[in-house]
């Protein structure tokens, strides 16, 4: 275990949340595209991977697919969590919903904090694409593991350093298969990663 590693803490209030119908449909539609390509899913050992989030217009909160939802082709409202607070240093999030937010919601928070214009973040897993993009796109250090405060800080720093016209993609060097893509809205975030997937698959 890395020195100084702080275990992820989820302050979860288990209660029903209601996502506005139009937003829910958009989340469902974009996520199902990622699911079909295997960018979000479940490994044979039953562990889910990948998540998608959208920032609320009014404040710093965001809605994210909950933990252990990777296996479903289609999601219900109860599969989402609303993140209302977080602390990188303490490696903690505060969330509500019938499903809790995973440790990866901190990486989403890091992108939102760095770039106020970003409205949606997707985190996918894809080994061959990850290997192709590794160090060809902004990449976090291989030393930095998933679910650590260091990952949140590294993603925040890399997000800040992106040039306005640069593709909004970050490769998580120490989180094998992990890639982040983001954009002003859900569609932009999803198409960024799907375009990369399609452009690279035939090479």
> Which of 176, 201 has the CB closer to Zn ion?
176
Question: Which residues, numbered 138-157, are part of the site for Zn ion (CB under 5 A)?
Answer: none
- What does DSSP assign to residue 98? S
Instruction: Give dist(CA 163, CA 62) in Å, integer.
Output: 24
Shortest gap between Cβ of 51 and Zn ion (angstroms)?
A: 8
x/- contact string, 72-91, with Zn ion (CB under 5 A)? --------------------
Sheet holding 80-87, edge to edge: 9-14, 92-97, 80-87, 62-65, 51-55, 120-125, 178-183, 169-171
Which of 154-164 are b and which e, b meaning 16 or more Cβ less than 10 Å from the residue's Cβ? bbbebbeebee
70 part of the interface to Zn ion, by CB under 5 A: no
Nearer Cβ to Zn ion (25/71): 71
Least Å distance between CB 15 and Zn ion? Answer: 26
Look at residues 51, 120, 38 and name the one whose alpha carbon lies nearest to residue 81: 51
How many whole angstroms separate alpha carbon 68 and alpha carbon 50?
10
CB of 123 to Zn ion, least distance (A): 6
Contact pick of 178, 181, 190, 192 for Zn ion (by CB under 5 A): 178
Place of tokens 């209030």: 13
Alpha carbons 184 and 79: distance in angstroms, whole number: 23
Task: Give 22 or 37: the residue with its C-beta nearer to Zn ion.
Answer: 37
Minimum Å distance from CB 170 to Zn ion? 12
Residue nearest to Zn ion (CB): 178
Q: Which is nearer to Zn ion, 21 or 171 (CB)?
A: 171
User: Which positions lie near Zn ion, rule CB under 5 A?
Assistant: 178
């Amino acid at each position: 275990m890395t020195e100084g590693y702080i275990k992820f803490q989820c302050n979860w209030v288990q209660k029903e949340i209601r996502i506005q119908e139009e937003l829910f449909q958009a989340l469902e539609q974009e996520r199902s595209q990622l699911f079909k390509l295997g960018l979000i899913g479940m490994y044979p050992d039953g562990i889910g991977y990948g998540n998608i989030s959208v920032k609320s217009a009014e404040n710093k909160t965001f809605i994210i697919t909950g933990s252990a939802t990777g296996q479903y082709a289609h999601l219900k409202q109860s599969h989402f969590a609303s993140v209302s607070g977080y602390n990188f240093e303490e490696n903690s999030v505060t969330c509500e919903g019938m499903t809790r937010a995973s440790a990866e919601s901190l990486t989403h928070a890091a992108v939102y904090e760095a770039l106020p214009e970003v409205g949606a973040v997707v985190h996918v897993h894809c080994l061959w694409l990850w290997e192709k993009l590794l160090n060809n796109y902004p990449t976090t250090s291989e030393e930095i593991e998933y679910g650590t405060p260091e990952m949140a800080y590294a993603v925040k720093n890399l997000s800040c350093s992106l040039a306005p016209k640069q593709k909004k993609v970050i490769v998580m060097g120490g989180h094998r298969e992990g890639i982040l893509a983001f954009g002003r809205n859900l569609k932009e975030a999803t198409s960024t990663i799907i375009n990369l997937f399609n452009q690279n698959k035939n090479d």
